Amino acid sequence: MHIRYGFDIEMQFSQPTTLITVLDVHPSRRGDIVREQDLSALSNHPTQAYIDSFGNLCRRIHVEDGFLHLRCDGVIRDSGEPDKALQKARIVPIMALPKEALTYLHGSRYCETDLLSDFAWKQFGQVTDGWQRVQAVTDFVHSHLSFGYEHASPTRSALQAFEQRVGVCRDFAHLAVALCRCLNIPARYCNGYLGDIGVPPDPAAMDFNAWFQAYLGGAWYTFDPRHNQRRIGRILIGCGRDAADVPMISSFGSHTLSKFEVVTELVAEEPEATSA
Protein backbone atom coordinates (compact mmCIF):
# COMPACT_ATOMS: atom_id res chain seq x y z
CA MET A 1 0.00 0.00 0.00
CA HIS A 2 0.98 3.65 -0.39
CA ILE A 3 0.61 6.17 2.43
CA ARG A 4 0.70 9.93 2.05
CA TYR A 5 2.45 11.72 4.89
CA GLY A 6 3.52 15.25 5.63
CA PHE A 7 3.09 18.44 7.60
CA ASP A 8 2.62 22.18 7.22
CA ILE A 9 4.25 24.24 9.98
CA GLU A 10 4.68 28.01 10.22
CA MET A 11 6.75 29.77 12.89
CA GLN A 12 7.32 33.44 13.73
CA PHE A 13 10.57 34.69 15.31
CA SER A 14 11.33 37.99 17.01
CA GLN A 15 15.07 37.83 16.22
CA PRO A 16 17.52 35.82 14.09
CA THR A 17 17.30 32.26 15.41
CA THR A 18 18.76 28.83 14.73
CA LEU A 19 16.69 25.70 15.22
CA ILE A 20 17.15 21.96 14.83
CA THR A 21 14.43 19.74 13.42
CA VAL A 22 13.83 16.00 13.61
CA LEU A 23 10.98 15.89 11.11
CA ASP A 24 12.31 13.81 8.23
CA VAL A 25 11.35 10.17 7.77
CA HIS A 26 13.90 8.02 9.57
CA PRO A 27 16.84 6.71 7.49
CA SER A 28 15.63 3.15 8.03
CA ARG A 29 12.48 3.94 6.01
CA ARG A 30 13.84 6.30 3.37
CA GLY A 31 14.29 3.47 0.90
CA ASP A 32 10.50 3.02 0.95
CA ILE A 33 9.76 6.60 -0.12
CA VAL A 34 8.01 6.77 -3.50
CA ARG A 35 8.18 10.56 -3.72
CA GLU A 36 8.81 13.41 -1.33
CA GLN A 37 8.76 17.19 -1.51
CA ASP A 38 11.73 17.93 0.72
CA LEU A 39 10.98 20.26 3.62
CA SER A 40 14.10 22.34 3.06
CA ALA A 41 13.15 23.16 -0.54
CA LEU A 42 10.60 25.74 0.58
CA SER A 43 12.49 27.29 3.48
CA ASN A 44 14.96 29.60 1.67
CA HIS A 45 17.14 29.55 4.78
CA PRO A 46 20.64 28.17 5.36
CA THR A 47 20.16 24.50 6.16
CA GLN A 48 22.52 21.69 7.11
CA ALA A 49 21.39 18.05 7.27
CA TYR A 50 23.14 15.49 9.48
CA ILE A 51 22.63 12.16 11.25
CA ASP A 52 22.65 12.42 15.05
CA SER A 53 24.12 9.93 17.53
CA PHE A 54 20.84 7.97 17.62
CA GLY A 55 20.69 7.57 13.83
CA ASN A 56 18.00 10.20 13.17
CA LEU A 57 18.02 12.57 10.19
CA CYS A 58 18.21 16.13 11.55
CA ARG A 59 18.41 19.60 10.03
CA ARG A 60 20.01 22.75 11.43
CA ILE A 61 18.22 25.81 10.04
CA HIS A 62 19.01 29.49 10.56
CA VAL A 63 16.22 32.05 10.28
CA GLU A 64 17.09 35.72 9.72
CA ASP A 65 13.84 37.26 8.52
CA GLY A 66 11.50 36.25 11.35
CA PHE A 67 9.39 33.70 9.44
CA LEU A 68 9.85 30.01 8.72
CA HIS A 69 7.58 27.79 6.66
CA LEU A 70 8.30 24.05 6.92
CA ARG A 71 6.27 21.86 4.62
CA CYS A 72 6.68 18.24 3.60
CA ASP A 73 4.46 16.18 1.33
CA GLY A 74 5.42 12.62 0.49
CA VAL A 75 4.23 9.13 -0.33
CA ILE A 76 5.80 6.03 1.16
CA ARG A 77 5.44 2.35 0.28
CA ASP A 78 4.25 0.15 3.17
CA SER A 79 3.77 -3.60 3.49
CA GLY A 80 0.24 -3.17 4.80
CA GLU A 81 1.07 -5.63 7.57
CA PRO A 82 0.56 -4.85 11.27
CA ASP A 83 3.56 -4.20 13.54
CA LYS A 84 5.68 -7.34 13.69
CA ALA A 85 5.15 -9.64 16.65
CA LEU A 86 7.20 -12.61 17.85
CA GLN A 87 5.65 -14.19 20.92
CA LYS A 88 8.67 -16.41 21.51
CA ALA A 89 11.18 -13.53 21.59
CA ARG A 90 13.21 -13.78 24.79
CA ILE A 91 15.02 -11.30 27.01
CA VAL A 92 18.65 -10.98 25.92
CA PRO A 93 21.11 -11.28 28.85
CA ILE A 94 22.94 -8.02 29.47
CA MET A 95 26.30 -9.64 28.75
CA ALA A 96 25.01 -10.67 25.30
CA LEU A 97 23.48 -7.32 24.31
CA PRO A 98 25.13 -5.36 21.49
CA LYS A 99 26.87 -2.31 22.89
CA GLU A 100 24.49 -0.01 20.97
CA ALA A 101 21.58 -1.31 23.07
CA LEU A 102 23.20 -0.70 26.46
CA THR A 103 22.33 3.01 26.56
CA TYR A 104 18.66 2.04 26.47
CA LEU A 105 18.94 0.29 29.84
CA HIS A 106 19.73 3.47 31.77
CA GLY A 107 17.48 6.12 33.24
CA SER A 108 17.07 9.34 31.25
CA ARG A 109 15.48 12.79 31.43
CA TYR A 110 11.88 11.56 31.33
CA CYS A 111 12.37 7.94 32.43
CA GLU A 112 13.33 7.64 36.12
CA THR A 113 14.27 3.98 36.42
CA ASP A 114 15.65 4.43 39.93
CA LEU A 115 12.27 5.61 41.24
CA LEU A 116 10.18 2.99 39.44
CA SER A 117 12.37 -0.09 39.85
CA ASP A 118 10.75 -1.48 43.03
CA PHE A 119 7.27 -1.22 41.55
CA ALA A 120 8.38 -2.75 38.24
CA TRP A 121 9.81 -5.88 39.83
CA LYS A 122 6.87 -6.33 42.19
CA GLN A 123 4.36 -5.88 39.37
CA PHE A 124 6.07 -7.75 36.52
CA GLY A 125 8.90 -9.79 38.02
CA GLN A 126 6.84 -12.99 37.97
CA VAL A 127 6.37 -12.73 34.19
CA THR A 128 9.48 -14.57 32.98
CA ASP A 129 9.13 -14.68 29.18
CA GLY A 130 10.43 -11.65 27.32
CA TRP A 131 7.59 -10.85 24.95
CA GLN A 132 4.97 -11.54 27.60
CA ARG A 133 6.78 -9.29 30.09
CA VAL A 134 6.90 -6.34 27.67
CA GLN A 135 3.27 -6.95 26.73
CA ALA A 136 2.34 -7.01 30.42
CA VAL A 137 4.03 -3.62 30.82
CA THR A 138 2.17 -2.32 27.75
CA ASP A 139 -1.17 -3.62 29.05
CA PHE A 140 -0.57 -2.02 32.43
CA VAL A 141 0.34 1.41 31.04
CA HIS A 142 -2.60 1.31 28.64
CA SER A 143 -5.05 0.69 31.49
CA HIS A 144 -3.29 2.79 34.16
CA LEU A 145 -3.20 6.09 32.23
CA SER A 146 -6.15 8.04 30.86
CA PHE A 147 -5.47 9.67 27.50
CA GLY A 148 -6.49 13.26 26.77
CA TYR A 149 -4.98 16.13 24.81
CA GLU A 150 -5.92 18.42 27.69
CA HIS A 151 -3.37 16.50 29.78
CA ALA A 152 -0.42 17.41 27.53
CA SER A 153 2.61 18.71 29.41
CA PRO A 154 6.14 19.15 28.01
CA THR A 155 7.70 18.44 31.41
CA ARG A 156 5.74 15.40 32.63
CA SER A 157 8.03 12.46 33.39
CA ALA A 158 7.28 8.75 33.55
CA LEU A 159 7.00 8.86 37.33
CA GLN A 160 4.65 11.83 37.20
CA ALA A 161 2.50 10.09 34.61
CA PHE A 162 2.44 7.00 36.84
CA GLU A 163 1.33 9.09 39.83
CA GLN A 164 -1.10 11.38 37.99
CA ARG A 165 -2.54 8.58 35.84
CA VAL A 166 -3.09 10.88 32.85
CA GLY A 167 -1.15 11.80 29.74
CA VAL A 168 -0.78 11.87 25.99
CA CYS A 169 0.98 9.32 23.79
CA ARG A 170 4.50 10.45 24.79
CA ASP A 171 3.64 9.91 28.47
CA PHE A 172 2.37 6.40 27.74
CA ALA A 173 5.62 5.68 25.90
CA HIS A 174 7.84 7.16 28.62
CA LEU A 175 6.23 5.12 31.38
CA ALA A 176 6.47 1.88 29.39
CA VAL A 177 10.10 2.61 28.46
CA ALA A 178 11.05 3.27 32.07
CA LEU A 179 9.37 0.10 33.34
CA CYS A 180 11.01 -2.07 30.68
CA ARG A 181 14.44 -0.67 31.52
CA CYS A 182 13.82 -1.39 35.19
CA LEU A 183 13.29 -5.02 34.14
CA ASN A 184 16.64 -5.13 32.24
CA ILE A 185 14.99 -4.89 28.82
CA PRO A 186 16.45 -2.20 26.53
CA ALA A 187 13.68 0.17 25.44
CA ARG A 188 13.74 3.27 23.29
CA TYR A 189 11.27 6.09 22.68
CA CYS A 190 9.97 6.56 19.11
CA ASN A 191 7.86 9.09 17.30
CA GLY A 192 6.47 9.44 13.82
CA TYR A 193 3.32 9.17 11.74
CA LEU A 194 0.41 6.85 12.54
CA GLY A 195 -2.73 7.24 10.47
CA ASP A 196 -6.15 5.71 11.00
CA ILE A 197 -5.48 2.71 8.76
CA GLY A 198 -7.38 -0.45 9.62
CA VAL A 199 -9.04 1.22 12.63
CA PRO A 200 -12.07 3.50 13.09
CA PRO A 201 -11.18 7.13 12.24
CA ASP A 202 -10.24 9.35 15.15
CA PRO A 203 -12.28 12.58 15.07
CA ALA A 204 -9.39 14.56 16.59
CA ALA A 205 -7.06 16.50 14.30
CA MET A 206 -4.15 14.43 12.98
CA ASP A 207 -0.92 14.73 14.95
CA PHE A 208 2.41 12.98 15.27
CA ASN A 209 2.42 9.90 17.52
CA ALA A 210 4.78 8.35 20.07
CA TRP A 211 5.36 4.68 20.85
CA PHE A 212 8.33 2.56 21.96
CA GLN A 213 10.52 -0.30 20.87
CA ALA A 214 11.87 -3.09 23.08
CA TYR A 215 14.96 -5.14 22.29
CA LEU A 216 14.05 -8.84 22.46
CA GLY A 217 15.57 -11.90 20.85
CA GLY A 218 18.18 -9.86 19.00
CA ALA A 219 15.82 -7.34 17.35
CA TRP A 220 13.78 -4.21 18.10
CA TYR A 221 10.00 -4.69 18.26
CA THR A 222 7.32 -2.02 18.36
CA PHE A 223 4.83 -1.71 21.22
CA ASP A 224 2.18 0.97 21.54
CA PRO A 225 0.80 1.49 25.06
CA ARG A 226 -1.46 4.32 23.92
CA HIS A 227 -3.45 2.14 21.48
CA ASN A 228 -2.32 -1.30 22.68
CA GLN A 229 -2.75 -3.03 19.35
CA ARG A 230 -0.59 -3.94 16.38
CA ARG A 231 -1.17 -1.11 13.92
CA ILE A 232 -0.76 -0.75 10.15
CA GLY A 233 1.22 2.00 8.43
CA ARG A 234 3.47 3.28 11.20
CA ILE A 235 6.18 5.60 9.77
CA LEU A 236 9.17 6.18 12.02
CA ILE A 237 10.73 9.65 12.24
CA GLY A 238 13.01 9.47 15.26
CA CYS A 239 14.07 7.38 18.22
CA GLY A 240 16.17 7.98 21.32
CA ARG A 241 16.30 7.48 25.05
CA ASP A 242 13.20 9.65 25.50
CA ALA A 243 11.53 12.73 24.01
CA ALA A 244 14.45 14.93 25.06
CA ASP A 245 16.59 13.16 22.44
CA VAL A 246 14.12 13.58 19.57
CA PRO A 247 12.28 16.89 19.92
CA MET A 248 10.73 17.53 16.53
CA ILE A 249 11.67 21.20 16.70
CA SER A 250 14.32 22.67 19.01
CA SER A 251 14.34 26.48 18.74
CA PHE A 252 17.30 28.33 20.24
CA GLY A 253 15.30 31.51 20.67
CA SER A 254 11.70 32.59 21.30
CA HIS A 255 9.11 31.84 18.64
CA THR A 256 5.38 31.64 18.00
CA LEU A 257 3.81 28.64 16.29
CA SER A 258 1.23 30.05 13.86
CA LYS A 259 0.34 26.87 11.95
CA PHE A 260 0.70 23.16 12.68
CA GLU A 261 -0.94 20.53 10.51
CA VAL A 262 -0.06 16.85 10.04
CA VAL A 263 -1.40 14.42 7.46
CA THR A 264 -1.17 10.62 7.25
CA GLU A 265 -3.59 8.81 4.98
CA LEU A 266 -3.92 5.82 2.70
CA VAL A 267 -3.79 6.76 -1.00
CA ALA A 268 -3.99 5.01 -4.33
CA GLU A 269 -0.70 3.49 -5.40
CA GLU A 270 1.43 5.80 -7.51
CA PRO A 271 3.82 4.71 -10.27
CA GLU A 272 7.34 4.50 -8.91
CA ALA A 273 10.14 6.53 -10.44
CA THR A 274 12.57 4.58 -12.60
CA SER A 275 16.16 5.50 -13.33
CA ALA A 276 17.37 5.79 -16.91
Q: How confident is the model over 9-67, as pLDDT tens digits?
A: 999 999 999 999 999 999 999 999 999 987 765 558 889 999 999 999 999 999 988 89
Residue 250 — very low, low, confident or very high, per pLDDT cuts 50/70/90?
Answer: very high
Same domain, 134 and 111: yes
Tell me if 3 sits within 8 A of 238, measured CB to CB: no
How many other C-beta atoms lie within 10 A of the C-beta of residue 216? Answer: 24
| pLDDT for the residue numbered 103 | 97
Does some domain include residue 88? Answer: no
Instruction: Clarify whether residues 184 and 229 are in a common domain.
Output: yes
pLDDT for 193:
98
Residue 30 lies in a domain: yes
Contact between 24 and 267 (Cβ < 8 Å): no
Instruction: Please tell me the predicted confidence (pLDDT) of residue 177.
Output: 98
Q: Specify whether 228 is located in the same domain as 103.
A: yes
The number of angstroms, rounded, from the C-alpha of 167 to the middle of its chain's C-alpha atoms is 15
Backbone angles phi, psi at 258, to 5 degrees: -100, -15
**At residue 275, does pLDDT exceed 90?**
no
What pLDDT was estimated at residue 133? Answer: 97
The pLDDT of 78-82, averaged and rounded, is 96
Contact 192, 209 (CB under 8 A): yes
* pLDDT tens-digit map of 137-193: 999 999 999 999 999 999 999 999 999 999 999 999 999 999 999 999 999 999 999
The confidence score (pLDDT) of residue 6 equals: 96
Identify the CATH number of the domain in which residue 172 sits: 3.10.620.30
Determine what percent of the chain is predicted with pLDDT higher than 90: 88
Helix, strand or coil, per DSSP, at residue 244: coil
Residues 154 and 196 in one domain: yes
Kindly state whether residues 119 and 192 are assigned to the same domain.
yes
**What is the count of structural domains for the chain?**
2
Confidence band of 225 (pLDDT split at 50, 70, 90): very high
Answer whether residue 55 is part of any domain.
Answer: yes
Considering the domain architecture, whether residues 103 and 142 belong to the same structural domain is answered as: yes
Give the per-residue pLDDT at 40: 62
How many angstroms separate the CA atoms of 224 and 205, rounded? 19
| Distances from the Cα of 262 to the Cα of 47, 192, 207, angstroms | 22, 11, 5
Mean pLDDT of the chain: 94
Residue 276 has pLDDT above 70, yes or no: no
Average of per-residue pLDDT across 81-88: 96
Task: Give the domain range for residue 229.
Answer: 94-236
Q: How far apart are CA 140 and CA 135, in angstroms?
A: 8
